[in-house]
Amino acid sequence: MEKAQVAFRTMPPARERPPFTADERTALVGWLDMQRAIVHWKCEGLSDEDAHRSVLPSSPLMTVAGLVSHLRWVEFTWFEVLFLGRPATGPQFDEEVEDRDFMVEGVPLARLLDEYDQQCRLTNEIVAAHSLDDVGKHPDFRSAAANLRWMLIHMVEETGRHAGHLDVVRELVDGGKGYF
């Protein structure tokens, strides 16, 4: 039986490193955009069934779909909640259920990727509109004291780490591997 393939509504982002002589903002956003593009690459051609397949017995929520959802909500948390001071809503703030943002059974991968893309575009708009020295505004979270520069560096690390997880999960799901 042939597996249904994911149809991206938009073209996946290009996997391009920022220029060697880029200014600080261009370099930070460029490296983050490249890690985001790698996330897309690791999802290319996966069926929804495979995207939701659990392959790590000790971490059953670490699926391709779960990781994409988590990355979407991490971007929301750092840039909308902590930096802009918007309300702390969403699955990652569920005090009753740990890792709620990974729980996406039945949600198509294409939808998760679209939501992630929308969040990334909003993050880039937020970054473009503020100084890298501006600090977060949410009064209830200690991490909001970080400046935008720190948050971007953290997000490059966070996205790169989870892109590595996606690399391993994808190989375990269907043997897909590679680095461009």
For domain 44-174, give the CATH number: 1.20.120.450
pLDDT digits (tens, 9 = 90+) for 122-155: 999 999 999 999 999 999 999 999 999 999 999 9
- 175: confidence class by pLDDT, cuts 50, 70, 90: very high
Residue type at position 117: D
pLDDT of residue 15: 85
pLDDT digits (tens, 9 = 90+) for 43-58: 999 999 999 999 999 9
Cα dihedral sign, 137-103-60-75: negative
Q: How many Cα atoms within 13 Å fall on the side-chain side of residue 127?
A: 25
> Which one is predicted more confidently, 133 or 4?
133
- At which residue do the structure tokens 């391993």 appear? 168
pLDDT digits (tens, 9 = 90+) for 6-46: 444 455 677 889 999 999 999 999 999 999 999 999 999 99
pLDDT of residue 2: 41
pLDDT digits (tens, 9 = 90+) for 82-119: 999 999 999 999 999 999 999 999 999 999 999 999 99
| Whole-structure pTM value | 0.92
- At which residue do the structure tokens 């880029």 appear? 22
Average pLDDT over residues 67-85: 98
Cβ contacts of 113 within 8 Å, gap of 6 or more? 6, 8, 40, 43, 68
Domain ranges of the chain: 44-174
